Structure 1
């Protein structure tokens, strides 16, 4: 029976991979972006209904509003106050988003993993080997935001955003099936690198630096940052290095995916992952993710 179940799972994984990756990913993504914004009432209701059928419970009772103009409006929904309590222990940094914990652990020099047996170099992900060296032998954690989850992301602590690097790329699906089949997938996809400086807790102590790397995917290649005027998506034509001067409080909203995807959190060796966390576990924004 177990063998039959595993065979069925393998068959479904192959079908899932073919359906989501062997199509014109760019055009499918642009088309979905337009379709999701249609405000015609019956299309809106049908779209959200089908989405809930396949994605699972959207927990709309947590949303700030429940009357949505379109499927897109529902997807980027804000939550009511108090729906995500922020852990306030200064010895921790919080998760910037809701997500399922994927590959995580120590960075081996500058090598990290997207899945077991699928390594990639931090310099390739960031498009900058000098920046990668800053995080040598640090830690990383992959947060996969599933279709039914809350899609906004927040500051992991009091911090200063000085620069955003945008790297245009492909839109491979980032689900576990694809991560086990496509080498260096995160290094291929559309992504942004947010460099955050965290002020020291005590005088004469060096500031801490971390990176948030939102990675877009098929149907979801659009990242909206409140610090920028333009969204970062397949139609973006601006500079790839965008200077910022934005300060955030712990838990303050930084932006959102205009659909769901993944955020990779990268730290130097001065921070460690919360030892209570396990791969496959679901974490919510505001819960302890890193320890000073």
Structure 2
């Protein structure tokens, strides 16, 4: 019953017109007075961002804020993968032979997530990591590895929330929400970077279209919060040992290493 009520309420509100109104408001100067309360509500540390709060004309501008150049340190390693975002490393694990991942005890289809068996099958038996971004987080996305862009595509239209309620009651939010996928080729294996849109504002903007990504460089940003999923091929990658999951991570922090 709770699941049905939750899904009905989302279906009634998650419409193009409501998304349009929200987007227009947060991108207008009318939203500027909300920046201060947004900072207080989510206890945002403003010391590492570029400029001051007075420099931001809209709530949207503040949400996609950049950081000072020295605010994050990329723990570079040519065979390492680093966190692409600030956020919660919510789940890591193995992709099953049925091409499913388990997040908060619920299965999600990698086949649905990537769109075709041809794209999904290389990841059977591989590893995955799910990063959740809260409204408080820095919302720019960085490359987890040095790699060549093999493919890039988008899927989905509407989006369910990707918070705890969304994952519990939503309709396959991680695998069927609007999403942008970039497949990277590292010398030691393939990696798919899945950027999952959030409710109301399905906007994932790339900052360049170069054919290669450099570890730690900014590659895209979310317009309002969401999730990034990394998919690794079987026997090609291992996560750092002795670190708890879930845990908070910063962009540039090492999360594991390719098997040489």
Verify same fold: TM over 0.5.
Answer: yes
Match of 1:212 in 2: 193
2:243 paired with 1:277: yes
3-state DSSP class of the match of 1:62? coil
Q: Contact between 1:101 and 1:282, CA under 8 Å: does it hold in 2? A: yes
Q: Is the 8 A contact 1:105 1:273 kept in 2?
A: no
Between 185-194 and 274-283, the greater mean CA deviation after superposition? 274-283
Is 1:100 aligned to 2:94, yes or no?
A: no
Aligned to 2:23: 33
**Residue number in structure 2 paired with 1:239:** none
Whether 2:256 is the aligned partner of 1:290: answer yes
1:1-292 paired onto structure 2 within 5 Å? 21=10, 23-26=12-15, 27-40=17-30, 43-45=31-33, 47-54=34-41, 56-66=42-52, 67-109=55-97, 110-116=99-105, 118-198=106-186, 200=187, 207-228=188-209, 245-269=210-234, 270-292=236-258
- TM-score, reference length from structure 2: 0.89
Distance 2:25 2:8 in 1: 19
Offset of 1:19 from its aligned partner?
11
Q: 1:276 to 1:89 in 2, by over 3 A?
A: farther
Shift of 1:176: 1.2
Distance 1:19 1:278, change over 3 A: farther
Displacement of 1:246 in angstroms is 1.9
Counterpart CA distance in 2 for 1:268 and 1:25 is: 34
Paired residue secondary structure (2:88): strand
Structure 2 Cα separation of the partners of residues 185 and 258 of structure 1: 17
* CA radius of gyration, larger in: 1
Partner of 1:5: none
- Structure 1 stretch 147-156 or stretch 162-171: which is displaced more? 162-171
Normalized against structure 1, the TM-score is what?
Answer: 0.79
Separation in 1, partners of 2:194, 2:77 = 24
User: 1:275: how far off?
Assistant: 2.5
Distance change (3 Å), C-alpha of 1:220 and 1:273: farther
Counterpart-to-counterpart distance in 2, 1:188 and 1:90: 32
Query: 1:114–1:186: 8 Å Cα contact kept in structure 2?
Result: no
- What SS does the aligned partner of 1:61 have? coil
Q: How many residues align?
A: 251
Please report the RMSD computed on the Cα atoms of aligned residues, expressed in angstroms: 2.2
What is the CA-CA distance between 1:285 and the residue it aligns to?
0.5
Structure 2 unmatched ranges of 5 or more? none
